[in-house]
Amino acid sequence: MSVFELMEKHGHEGLVFCNDQTTRLCAIIAIHDTTLGPALGGTRMWNYTDEVEAIKDALRLSRSMTYQAAVADCDTGGGKAVLWGDPLKDKSEAYFRAFGRFIEGLNGRFVTYADLGTDERDLCYIRRETAHVAPFVAESAGGGDGAKVTAQGVLWGMRACCKMVFGVSSVKDRRVVIQGVGDVGTHLARLLAEEGAKLIISDIVYDAMKRVQDEIPDAEIKRPDRIFDCDCDIFSPCALGGVINQETFEKLRCRIIAGGAYDVLESDHIGDLLFEKGILYAPDFVISAGELFQSADRMRPVAPEASLERAEEIYDAMVRVLERAGRENIPPYRAARKIAIERIENVGRVRTILTHPPEIGL
């Protein structure tokens, strides 16, 4: 497909290519939909195979952000920035300041925060060139922790799924596989252990698994290539996307898939197969929305305690999705998209009302 065909397929408003020869910056900013507000999305740095892979990643993730904000009742649209580079080698102050100037040139249509491969230090450099950095990362009241809030939301989403599948909204004594124990996965492991869940953890970095096991001795460690066919109640992907594909789908022995990773499914077809197999897949853009609750609807930071409380709203959001899926006998991810699209369309109709008339010189 051409770039325009890809944009039309996903329903994108814009795709911005950024190049700075001085710093060797190669970046793509995808703006999916701004009906509800400015396109909000993280800045991801990854050593992509080629520009096609980078473009597709930006398009997929920005669309997920649109749906996430809509279902979470936030007044933001969906966007995503991807930096094509090695986060271990290519970073510099000038690199991120150059990227900040590109963001500034979008005049507020895109607002960003740290994502995979970027951190608070990088954002500080970006923010020297633009104010369009999400306040829950730049100056969160009391220094909130995005990973902790995301994990809190995932836990509440799991509870809603357990209520649907097992009849009780508790993870106590449930066998939970956590794939990826980075920041989100580690916080989730702590929360699940406190709730009495039985943990199986996996990560490509052995030291990460060992740190979690040192803290939670009962957590069982599994090699990454042995994780999908574990007999468990909940499979929780908390690393990269696309992990549920045709090959791994055949191995799954769980009742629920619910984690903090984005774009967990390789394709919509896999989501339909999960539905047919009787595995409840919690839509990633619903269950991982906790981080959005660190910012109020008008991009003002909120206190960490308030953001953790707001993350509990994911339980209600997930219940609405699962009830809609049950009524219409469709996979939950399709029900969630319907809910998101309906809100965007309804608000979009209201926004045809003119609020700032142009100066006509009369």
Residues acting as catalytic residues: 80
> Tokens 């060992």 label which residue?
210
In terms of C-beta density within 10 A (0-12 exposed, 13-18 middle, 19 or more buried), how is residue 126 classed? buried
From the list 103, 119, 134, 89, the residue with the least C-alpha distance to 20 is: 103
Report the C-alpha gap between 321 and 67 in whole angstroms. 12
> Tokens 């969630």 label which residue?
336
Report the C-alpha gap between 320 and 7 in whole angstroms. 29
Cβ pair 238, 185 in contact under 8 A = yes
Q: Helix crossing, 332-350 with 51-71: angle to 10°?
A: 70
Q: Of all helices (H) and strands (E), which one includes residue 256?
A: strand 256-257
Give me the DSSP letters along 297-337.
Answer: TTS-B--HHHHHHHHTHHHHHHHHHHHHHHHHT--HHHHHH
Report the C-alpha gap between 182 and 234 in whole angstroms. 18
Tokens, residue 231: 């007999």
Pairing of strands 77-84, 25-33: antiparallel
From the list 52, 65, 61, 62, the residue with the least C-alpha distance to 31 is: 62
Give the sheet arrangement for strand 110-114, strand by strand. Answer: 14-20, 25-33, 77-84, 39-46, 110-114
